[in-house]
Amino acid sequence: QNNVGKVNDLLNQGADPNYVPDDAMVTPMHFAAQHNALEVIPLLVEAGAYIDSKTEPDGLTPLEIATMHGHDRIVQLLVAYYNDDNEQSH
């Protein structure tokens, strides 16, 4: 279950989209990528989530996590965001 409404509510209340709890060591973006939460990722990006942050201690990005778990639609979405970021920075 993706809990899109709950995530949206939390972000609207000012929750940090890059928050890393001590016990998890991953961002909400990593969690969404791992759990195939396709609808959550655009909400996080719009709220300012970093799409290229790395987990501790293994240094994986959300894209790498989605790839490892075989979440092809998440991979495609994250690649599109990476491409948008690269175009805007040039």
Per-residue model confidence as pLDDT tens digits over 36-81:
999 999 999 999 999 999 987 789 999 999 999 999 999 999 999 9
Provide the pLDDT for residue 44: 97
Q: Is 36 left (phi over 0), alpha (psi -120 to 50) or beta?
A: left
Q: Is the peptide bond before 21 cis (omega within 30 degrees of 0)?
A: no
Number of domains in the chain: 1
Domain around 35? 4-88
Q: Indicate if the pLDDT at residue 90 is higher than 90.
A: no
CA triplet 69, 51, 9: central angle to 5 degrees? 95
Amino acid at 40: V
Least confident of 8-12, 29-33, 55-59, 82-86: 82-86
Which CATH number is 19's domain given?
1.25.40.20
Question: Is the preceding omega at residue 42 within 30 degrees of 0, hence cis?
Answer: no
